[in-house]
Amino acid sequence: MAKSVGAMAGSRAVRTVTGSVGAVGAAIAAGVLAERRAIRRRRGVPDAAAPGPLGPIVGRSGTVIAADGVPLHVEETGPADAPLTLVFVHGFCVRLDSWILQQRELADLGRMVFLDLRAHGRSGPSAAGNCTIDMLADDLHRVIRERVPDGPIILVGHSMGGMAILGLADAQPDLFGDRVIGVALLATSASELARATGGVPALLATTVRQVMPGVGFAMRHGRAPLEWIRRRGGEISWEVTRRIAFGGTDAPPSIVTFLDSLVSDTSVEVIAAFLPALLDNNRLDAIGRLASTPTVIVVGDVDVITPVGHSRVIAAALPDAEFVVEEGAGHAIMLERPDVVNAAIRRLVGRALAEVPLPRPRSEAGFPTSRDGGQPAGRMEDADGSAA
């Protein structure tokens, strides 16, 4: 019987690994202890521009049952009879509330459907062996079938959510161009994170792959000390989130705090269960499935999780896609640069509706395509990295 994420072992090896992980974590914590006062000051700086209320997204709640029985939590906002539906797929280690700045500012576009990926947020736990991109793609397909059974759809995915969309295109190509009339891929990757353009050298990638099973094992079974460090190291956790997920020091402290809370709510076991799927993901062949579907690709040029080279690989295979590289932005681009992302989604909707005209919804005057005159909000690039 497959063990769900959360199962623990009690062997001597596990206890040894647990002690080692705890010792390493304690050493890291001690090393940054001196920074805590400075970090505390950064956390306490008022936002230069208030982002407004941050989460949760509250709408019409529902549950979709995955193929293996995992209950998937779904929130739906906007007119139930809207002719267009936007489906948002969040990234690794967060939950659907990460889209709050899109839900609030793009509400006039129509109905919105947000799902918590398996083992994330309010969705149920998953067997570790089913924490894969294929299963995420199937989960997304089930949500579409049950919650958006008809009408055109715009899919918006961030990071692992974008990988799930590419997985869906691979498994269900007939959906694209018919039901799915537009796709937004934010800070995502179509191939192995360690090997794609912009990633680490192949030799290091091989090493990472060889040690990852042991790292995942240690993270799953060394949960208690790692979780203790996360809970007790608030300033440390906050600073790590700021440095890894955001491009610079100008990220509003409240936004960093919000993302840090989402990540902190994701267990170490879930992180370990999904890591192999992220490293081994390869959807390069699936990119071509989007060739006839209006697509926008958005990435920050200092993203250290899915570097800009990953997006260039996708853009090179989709020459008709809009490719936006936002200077100084990091991985959590929908939170760090919401205006850029929101404007890109509006332009995508405009292009998609130009090809698939819709009747006006009864409750709206129409579908505005852009609030900024239709001009790109970030730097436009060709796939080779040259500015356009």
Adjacency order of strands within the sheet including 295-300 = 60-65, 71-77, 111-115, 85-89, 153-158, 180-186, 295-300, 322-326, 379-380
Angle subtended at Cα 197 by Cα 193 and Cα 200, rounded to the nearest 5 degrees: 60
pTM: 0.79
Q: Are 317 and 384 in contact (CB under 8 A)?
A: no
pLDDT in tens for each of the 388 residues of the chain?
445 553 333 334 334 333 444 444 454 455 455 565 555 556 556 666 666 788 899 999 999 999 999 999 999 999 999 999 999 999 999 999 999 999 999 999 999 999 999 999 999 999 999 999 999 999 999 999 999 999 999 999 999 999 999 999 999 999 998 899 999 999 999 986 655 433 443 433 443 444 344 444 444 444 444 454 455 456 777 888 888 899 976 788 899 999 999 998 888 889 888 988 888 888 999 999 999 999 999 999 999 889 999 999 999 999 999 999 999 999 999 999 999 999 999 999 999 999 877 755 544 444 444 334 344 444 455 445 544 4
Q: Are 145 and 65 in contact (CB under 8 A)?
A: no
- Domains of the chain, CATH where assigned: 52-359+367-388 (3.40.50.1820)
Location of structure tokens 């576009």: 109
Q: Are 363 and 370 in contact (CB under 8 A)?
A: no
What distances in angstroms separate CA 360 from CA 81, 294, 366, 367, one per listed residue? Answer: 11, 21, 5, 8
Give me the phi and psi of 156, to 5 degrees please.
Answer: -125, 120
Amino acid identity, position 262? L
Tokens of 353: 């509706």
Pairing of strands 153-158, 111-115: unpaired
User: What is the rounded distance in angstroms from the CA atom of residue 54 to the CA atom of residue 247?
Assistant: 20
Nearest to 79 by CA among 45, 110, 107: 110
Upper half-sphere CA count for residue 278 (Cβ side, 13 Å): 23
